[in-house]
């Protein structure tokens, strides 16, 4: 009986490991990769000059709603610059808190309020990004979609154009283009 | 007669405390830096795991939390986990000798401090002998520690008994984060030798691993007069960790560590320690909203401790001899997180722990029964309810069943109110229990057949706290953050050393102390320049404990506390040039009121300075010089003033670290 007790947990540990040995190495956390995508968007999208009110004004990546990134997004932008502007992360609970924001990640918790959010951003040069599931997200400029455990991109060129944003072909090439160009 | 009696009590107390036990290659890029180097196409080809996606940033948790990062540990020049904990302002860390520390949150840093729960990668490391931590047994290759989370205040609901005043959560890096070769070597006046190495690779397909080893040798500390105390310490440790993504929704981890140490004692001889553990964990994301965690571990510790002879009034009560302790722990935990519709985030869990403790008594100190098997069952449920986007309510309770006191309930209620971006107010009321440890129930000092003058209490029950807390944390400008926490804790049934009516002896352990503590914890962090960050912390603690009316306590309700009223720390981290970093930390610790049995003494207030200069000669090679406790030749941090009190010396050492 004593021997049984001793062997039990060790056997359990070994059993846990019989399940492994497929695919490649341990993948990084989903939101680490998505944070790097947001950082890349800052480099592959051109904002109109009036998106910045002062020469030294930082480039702002905003997170609206329940933040899934933890410390990942902050870690990605730390010490980085985009066209000589430092990058900062801001977090909002309400779209009304947003003032100078260049990329806005709309968290899953806010997707129910999407029409109001997009209305509040109308005419402003804010690149909207979402990774929520479901089809009813018309008007979000870039969607991070899940494709066999990888992150794919869907870009609504028309919506971006309406916000006076120019998306580099480098970003468009690997993406799936949705929505037609407007006007 | 009264005088005689008081004298006896003093001698008994000294005897009791002199006898104290406390002698004691990657398949795909993973790091953020690597990911940033990838093209968009490459980034889109990276496989990701959705495991642990719900892990909330601890900075948003509605509690007093400090996080010590990997980088802070590396840049501070600390050489052990206990030293690293000085980087958390909400902890009081007092070094007692070369290998023992008293570490506590919100007071109660007594010689057998027992109100903190400490975990390494989910494995609880306190000893059921006294519900405290043998800090000398808790080691790791510091390079491979990801972060240390320190929560001050009760954490009983999620973590269970012993999380009375705080929780320390030490988290090591994943095997994927520690790929390649790392080697370090160094030495100095106190730290005579330090070596460590790790290698991380991949196990064919699917898994990463690392193996590590380390060894150090520390010199003796000294008495006030400068004479060596004979408390030198050397220890070796080795271990491994394997992480595997069996699928995009499954993570498996297997860890193991083994150590052996030799810790000199100023009472003569050396404590010999050894131990090891194996832990397995499976995390399964059932869906985007639901995650299951299954963890099991096996842990063994072995201690042989020379106990000096016991004497009272010059009469030898028991000769010197060895105390042996062998503890085996089996633990199984299940935890499930699920986000429900309507803004509910639910966490529930079940746990079972079996401990098998075998003591071989020394004449001077023992435990009866010598062999004790214990079962601990636990269950908890916590719900976070988003009432509004900016307001959430957290309700939960843990229920535990232990063999000593039966069922224990540890509920808490928390509120978080987000004021604006990155700013929140929080408040909580919690109840936590410190269940009896073996010392409280089973202690015999000296052990039969010798005359016992101190015994455990057969009726000794749990100690309880009800804690009221509130705090603010937030970003006060783009370059600075701050936090403030205030608390009041009401304690009842705290440990006392009470007299047997009529005969005084044996003194026995009872629950005859009660009282309250109040305090404030403040931290501020600022990035003053791109290359210069500073941190400041201040802690205030007021403890008011009393002996219950009509009851007695040998220590006049001072036996469980040895805490500074004020503590201040200031740290600076400066990036001097591309490859040159300079860090410095000053701390001021107020005087401690300590007891030696019924006598009251003091550890004087002190200032100390630690600093490190690191120079990266190349991306793979760094040399550094660190100085610890530079302001004094030696200074005491703990202990009743006596010729046997050990003081901590200035330490300077150099180190070379190489990674490939």
Q: What is the pLDDT of residues A103-136, one digit of tens each?
A: 999 988 888 889 999 999 988 899 999 988 777 7
Residue B205: per-residue pLDDT: 64
Partner-chain contact A97 B420, CB within 8 Å:
yes
Who among A19, A44, A171 is closest to B252 (CB)?
A: A19
Does the pLDDT at position A1 exceed 70? no
Tell me which of A11, A17, A18, A25 to substitute to probe the interface with B (most B C-beta atoms closer than 10 Å): A25
pLDDT tens column, B14-62:
333 333 322 222 345 557 777 888 887 877 777 665 443 334 455 567 8
Q: What's the CA gap between B230 and B223, in Å, rounded?
A: 10
Residue B421: per-residue pLDDT: 63
- What would the mean pLDDT of B274-296 be, rounded to a whole number? 90
Q: What's the CA gap between B539 and A1, in Å, rounded?
A: 52
Confidence bin at A22 (pLDDT 50/70/90): very low
Partner-chain contact B244 A20, CB within 8 Å:
yes
Paired with B468 in beta bridges are: B429, B488
Partner-chain contact B43 A35, CB within 8 Å:
no
Partner-chain contact B246 A174, CB within 8 Å:
no
CA angle at residue B455 from B452 to B461, to 5 degrees? 170
Pairing of β B321-340 and β B566-577: unpaired
Nearest CA to CA, how far is B208 from chain A (Å)? 6
% of chain B surpassing 90 pLDDT: 63
Asked if this assembly's ipTM is beyond 0.85, the reply is no
Confidence bin at B491 (pLDDT 50/70/90): very high
Backbone torsion region of residue B96, taken as left when φ is above 0, otherwise alpha when ψ lies between -120 and 50, otherwise beta:
alpha
Partner-chain contact A40 B205, CB within 8 Å:
no
Q: Residue A120 belongs to what H/E stretch?
A: helix A114-120
Which tokens hold the place of B324? 């042996």
* Strand, coil or helix: A108: helix
Largest CA distance in chain A: 80
- What would the mean pLDDT of B140-153 be, rounded to a whole number? 92
N-term to C-term CA, chain B: 73
> Which among A104, A111, A158, A109 is positioned nearest to A134, based on CA atoms?
A111
Does the pLDDT at position A2 exceed 50? no
Could you tell me which residues come within 8 angstroms of residue A170 by beta carbon, excluding any fewer than 6 positions away?
A44, B40
B40: chain A residues, CB-CB within 8 Å: 40, 44, 153, 170-171, 174
Partner-chain contact A22 B176, CB within 8 Å:
no
- What would the mean pLDDT of A84-92 be, rounded to a whole number? 88
Nearest CA to CA, how far is B565 from chain A (Å)? 34
Residue A109: per-residue pLDDT: 81
Residue A20: per-residue pLDDT: 26
Residues B341-351 as b/e (b if ≥16 CB within 10 A, e otherwise) read eebebbbebeb
Domain holding B125: CATH number? 2.40.170.20
Residue B27: per-residue pLDDT: 42
What domains lie within chain A, and their CATH numbers?
28-178 (3.40.50.2300)
pLDDT higher at B502 or B539 = B539
Lowest mean pLDDT of A157-171, B14-28, B589-603, B612-626, name the range: B14-28
Confidence bin at A3 (pLDDT 50/70/90): very low
Residue in the structure block whose two tokens are 């400090």: B66
Lowest mean pLDDT of A99-103, A156-160, B48-52, name the range: B48-52
B52: chain A residues, CB-CB within 8 Å: 29
Who among B41, B298, B422 is closest to A91 (CB)?
A: B422
A70: chain B residues, CB-CB within 8 Å: 55-57
A55 touches chain B (CB under 8 A): no
- What would the mean pLDDT of B199-208 be, rounded to a whole number? 83
A85 touches chain B (CB under 8 A): no
Partner-chain contact B52 A109, CB within 8 Å:
no
Q: Structural domain of residue B18, as residue ranges?
A: 2-659
Contact B607, B567 (CB under 8 A): no
Does the pLDDT at position B153 exceed 50? yes
A19: chain B residues, CB-CB within 8 Å: 244, 246, 250, 252
Sheet holding A81-82, edge to edge: A81-82, A85-92, A59-64, A103-106, A127-130, A142-147, A150-156, A176-178
pLDDT higher at B505 or A56 = B505
Q: Residue B376 belongs to what H/E stretch?
A: strand B371-388
Partner-chain contact A58 B478, CB within 8 Å:
yes
Which tokens hold the place of A99? 């003032």
Residues A85-123 as b/e (b if ≥16 CB within 10 A, e otherwise) read bbbbbbbbbbbeebebbbbbbbbbbbbebbeebbeebee
Residue B69: per-residue pLDDT: 86
pLDDT higher at B189 or A21 = B189
pLDDT tens column, B309-350:
888 878 889 999 999 999 999 999 999 988 887 778 888 999
Who among B53, B202, B252 is closest to A25 (CB)?
A: B202
Residue B95: per-residue pLDDT: 97
> Nearest residue on chain A to B423, judged by CA atoms?
A91
Does the pLDDT at position B89 exceed 70? yes
Q: What's the CA gap between B389 and A162, in Å, rounded?
A: 29
When the pLDDT of each residue in chain B is averaged and rounded to a whole number, the result is: 88
B418: chain A residues, CB-CB within 8 Å: 93
A93: chain B residues, CB-CB within 8 Å: 389-390, 418, 420-421
Residue B156: per-residue pLDDT: 67
Q: To the nearest 10°, report the CA torsion of A73, A75, A78, A84.
A: -40
Residue A7: per-residue pLDDT: 34
Residue A97: per-residue pLDDT: 84
Listed in order, strand segments (DSSP E) in B319-370 are 321-340, 344-360, 366-367
A25: chain B residues, CB-CB within 8 Å: 26-28, 30, 176, 202, 206-208, 245
Which residues of A, range 158-177, sit inside 8 Å of B by Cβ? 170-171, 174
Partner-chain contact B298 A65, CB within 8 Å:
no
Domain count, chain B: 1
Distances (CA, A) of B86 to B24, B68, B89, B224, B471: 20, 10, 7, 23, 22
């Amino acid at each position: 009986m004593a021997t049984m007790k001793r062997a039990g947990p060790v056997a359990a540990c070994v059993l846990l490991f019989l399940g492994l040995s497929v695919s490649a190495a341990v993948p990084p956390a989903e939101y680490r990769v998505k944070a790097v995508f947001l950082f890349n968007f800052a480099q592959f999208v051109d904002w109109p000059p009036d998106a910045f009110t002062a020469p030294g004004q930082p480039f702002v990546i905003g997170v609206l709603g329940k933040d899934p990134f933890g410390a990942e997004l902050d870690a990605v932008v730390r010490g980085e610059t985009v066209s000589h502007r430092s990058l900062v992360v801001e977090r909002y609970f309400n779209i009304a808190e947003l003032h100078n924001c260049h990329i806005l990640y709309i968290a899953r918790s806010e997707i129910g309020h999407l029409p109001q959010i997009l209305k509040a951003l109308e005419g402003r040069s804010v690149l909207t990004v979402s990774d929520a599931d479901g089809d009813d997200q018309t008007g979000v400029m870039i969607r991070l979609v899940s494709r066999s455990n990888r992150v794919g991109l869907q870009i609504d060129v028309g919506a971006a154009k309406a916000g006076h944003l120019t998306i580099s072909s480098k970003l468009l090439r690997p993406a799936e283009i949705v929505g037609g160009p407007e006007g | 007669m009264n005088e005689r009696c008081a004298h006896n009590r003093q001698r008994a107390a000294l005897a009791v405390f002199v006898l104290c036990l406390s002698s004691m290659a990657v398949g795909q890029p993973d790091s953020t830096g690597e990911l940033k180097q990838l093209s968009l196409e490459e980034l889109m080809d990276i496989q990701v795991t959705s495991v642990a996606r719900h892990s909330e940033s601890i900075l948003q948790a509605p509690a007093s939390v400090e996080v010590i990062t990997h980088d802070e540990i590396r840049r501070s020049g600390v050489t052990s986990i206990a030293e690293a904990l000085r980087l958390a302002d909400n902890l009081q860390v007092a070094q007692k000798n070369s290998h023992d520390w008293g570490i506590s949150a919100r007071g109660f840093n007594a010689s057998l401090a027992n109100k903190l729960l400490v975990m390494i990668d989910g494995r609880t490391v306190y000893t059921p002998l006294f519900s405290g931590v043998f800090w000398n047994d808790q080691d790791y290759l510091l390079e491979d520690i990801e972060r240390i989370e320190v929560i001050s205040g009760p954490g009983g609901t999620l973590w269970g008994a012993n999380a009375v005043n705080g929780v320390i959560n030490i988290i090591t890096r994943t095997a994927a984060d520690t790929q390649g070769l790392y080697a370090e070597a160094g030495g100095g006046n106190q730290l005579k030798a330090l070596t460590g190495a790790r290698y991380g690779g991949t196990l064919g397909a699917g898994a990463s691993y690392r193996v590590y080893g380390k060894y150090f040798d520390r010199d003796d500390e000294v008495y006030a007069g400068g004479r060596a105390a004979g408390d030198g310490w050397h220890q070796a440790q080795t271990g491994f960790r394997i992480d595997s993504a069996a699928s995009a929704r499954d993570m498996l981890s297997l860890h193991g560590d083994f150590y052996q140490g030799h810790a000199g004692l100023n009472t003569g001889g050396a404590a010999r320690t050894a131990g090891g553990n194996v832990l397995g964990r499976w995390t399964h994301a059932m869906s985007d909203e639901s995650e299951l965690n299954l963890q099991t571990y096996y842990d063994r510790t072995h201690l042989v401790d020379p106990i000096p002879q016991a004497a009272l009034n010059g009469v030898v009560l028991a000769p010197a001899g060895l105390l042996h302790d062998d503890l085996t722990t089996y633990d199984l935990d299940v935890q499930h997180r699920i986000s429900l519709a309507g803004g509910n985030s639910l966490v529930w869990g079940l746990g079972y722990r079996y401990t098998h403790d075998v003591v071989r008594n020394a004449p001077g100190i023992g435990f009866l029964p010598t062999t004790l098997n214990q079962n601990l069952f636990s269950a908890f449920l916590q719900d976070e309810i988003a009432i509004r986007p900016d307001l959430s309510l957290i309700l939960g309770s843990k229920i535990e069943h232990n063999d000593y006191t039966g069922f224990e309930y540890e509920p808490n209620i928390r509120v978080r109110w987000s004021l604006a971006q990155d700013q929140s107010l929080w408040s909580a009321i919690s109840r936590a229990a410190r269940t009896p440890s073996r010392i409280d129930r089973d202690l015999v000092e000296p052990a039969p057949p010798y005359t016992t003058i101190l015994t455990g209490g057969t009726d000794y029950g749990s100690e309880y706290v009800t804690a009221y807390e509130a705090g603010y944390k937030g970003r006060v400008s783009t370059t600075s953050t701050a936090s403030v926490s205030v608390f009041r804790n009401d304690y009842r049934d705290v440990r006392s050393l009470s007299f047997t009516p009529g005969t005084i002896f044996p003194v026995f352990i009872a629950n005859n102390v009660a009282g309250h503590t109040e305090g404030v914890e403040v931290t501020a962090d600022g990035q003053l320049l791109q290359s210069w960050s500073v941190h400041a912390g201040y802690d205030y603690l007021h403890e008011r404990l009393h002996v219950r009316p009509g009851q007695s306590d040998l220590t006049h309700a001072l036996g469980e506390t040895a805490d500074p009223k004020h503590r201040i720390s200031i740290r600076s981290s400066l990036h001097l040039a591309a490859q040159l970093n300079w860090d410095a930390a000053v701390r001021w610790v107020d005087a401690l009121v300590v007891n030696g049995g019924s006598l009251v003494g003091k550890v004087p207030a002190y200032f100390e300075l630690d600093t490190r200069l690191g120079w990266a000669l190349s991306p793979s090679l760094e040399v550094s010089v660190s100085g610890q406790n530079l302001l004094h030749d030696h200074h005491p941090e703990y202990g009743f003033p006596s010729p046997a009190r050990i003081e901590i010396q200035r330490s300077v050492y150099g180190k070379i670290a190489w990674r490939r």
